[in-house]
Amino acid sequence: MKINIYYGGRGLIDDPTLFVINKMQNVLEELHVTVERYNLHELKNTITTLPQTLKSCDGVILATTVEWYGIGGYMTQFLDACWLYGDKEKISHIYMSPIVMATTYGEREGKLNLSNAWEILGGLPCSGICGYIEDISILEQSEDYLRLIEKKAENMYRTINQKVPSLPASNQAVKKKVNITKNADLTPQETEQLSQYASDDAYVQKQKEDITELASMFRNLMGTGSENNEDEYIKEFEDAFKPQAGTDASYLFRINTHKLPLFVSIEGPELKCIYKEADKVDVEITLDAEKLKNIVKGNATFQRTFMAGEMKMKGDFTALRALDSLFVFS
């Protein structure tokens, strides 16, 4: 049997919650239970990955301290991560015992909040502990309180070991009738990055343009575009080629009506034109077939087409500017 403890307090020396979970951990380990603790304040940058740790446990203890109001941000972040990224099927078989100690008002509400949250996630309830502790010495010096904590730990062990069933709860009925958060095939880190990018208008616009370009490419691959001509434009490039001393460059022309891009390589006086993919080129150009036809007929230039926004490029701008000198179409 394995039980994970998730501690959502701040780790203060006089935190009564720490005393309680330390005592419970000792009791569980005496019962030969494997106990693993996660201090959320130490793992605050990786809380979104912690739901993965639920896959290997039979029970959990959610422990936190009410210092002024509620169960605190770290525990809330962890429960949010369980809702967004947790394996709901696995959670449905995990028992949870809430531990909430308070140095101010609100321990009962905190315990109830943890229980409700876990049941809405689909998990199984287990008896927990809550109390108002003004001074940690009250716990340390009371034999009755120590026995109570030990009994709670033993009861949790029995509940998990015997797989004690629980009656249906109303919050489970509500969960079935409300919209469930859709699972995304993304890691927590990718989801966070996506939320940052989504607020960047320039990034969103660029993605829309890329999607349009990809859609056009896939339509061509599926045969909705015109048939690819492996000789088209090659003769025009060869006839218009004007070698420039000391000029070496490579270009990849992605034409919307062609399945494969036109690869153009220049090494001094030598020119190579072929339709194929290429990983590393100086300039990658994307344009419509009509725009390229205008260029090879001498009605436009690469520079003018690019400045008009009718051609996209990425790579070396110097190599792009050299195109009109290397190929003089008439």
- Compute the distance between CA of residue 39 and CA of residue 222 in angstroms, rounded to an integer: 53
Q: pLDDT band at residue 213, thresholds of 50, 70 and 90? A: confident
Q: Was domain 234-326 assigned CATH 3.30.1050.10?
A: yes
The torsion of the CA quartet 4, 9, 14, 18, rounded to 10 degrees, works out to: -10
Question: Kindly report the CA angle at 280 between 278 and 282, in degrees rounded to 5?
Answer: 110
Span 235-287, pLDDT tens digits: 999 999 999 888 899 999 999 888 889 999 999 899 999 999 988 899 999 99
Helix axes 16-30, 143-162, angle to 10 degrees: 50
Span 136-157, pLDDT tens digits: 888 889 999 999 999 999 999 9
β-bridge partners, 254 = 286
CB within 8 A of 93, min separation 6: which ones? 58, 124
- Compute the distance between CA of residue 300 and CA of residue 295 in angstroms, rounded to an integer: 5
List phi, psi (to 5°) of 95: -85, 145
Cβ atoms < 10 Å from Cβ of 273: 19
- Compute the distance between CA of residue 102 and CA of residue 133 in angstroms, rounded to an integer: 6
Cβ atoms < 10 Å from Cβ of 21: 24
pTM of the model: 0.56
Distance of CA 99 to the CA centre of its chain: 30
The domain defined by 2-177 folds into Rossmann fold (3.40.50)
Distance of CA 31 to the CA centre of its chain: 38
* 114, 221 Cβ separation under 8 angstroms: no
- Compute the distance between CA of residue 92 and CA of residue 211 in angstroms, rounded to an integer: 39
202 token code pair: 């320039």
CB within 8 A of 262, min separation 6: which ones? 233, 234, 237, 252, 253, 255, 273, 274, 275
In the chain, where are the structural domains located?
2-177, 234-326
- Compute the distance between CA of residue 305 and CA of residue 310 in angstroms, rounded to an integer: 5
Span 75-114, pLDDT tens digits: 999 999 999 888 889 999 999 999 999 999 999 999 999 9
- Compute the distance between CA of residue 307 and CA of residue 317 in angstroms, rounded to an integer: 12
The torsion of the CA quartet 310, 315, 321, 325, rounded to 10 degrees, works out to: -100
Q: pLDDT band at residue 225, thresholds of 50, 70 and 90? A: very low
Looking at residue 200, what is its pLDDT?
60
Alpha-carbon Rg of the chain, whole angstroms? 33
242 token code pair: 């004007």
Q: Which long-range contacts (CB under 8 A, 24 or more apart) does 11-17 make?
A: 11/39, 11/41, 11/42, 14/135, 14/136, 15/65, 15/101, 15/136, 16/65, 16/101, 16/103, 16/131, 16/133, 16/136, 16/139, 17/63, 17/64, 17/65, 17/99, 17/100, 17/101
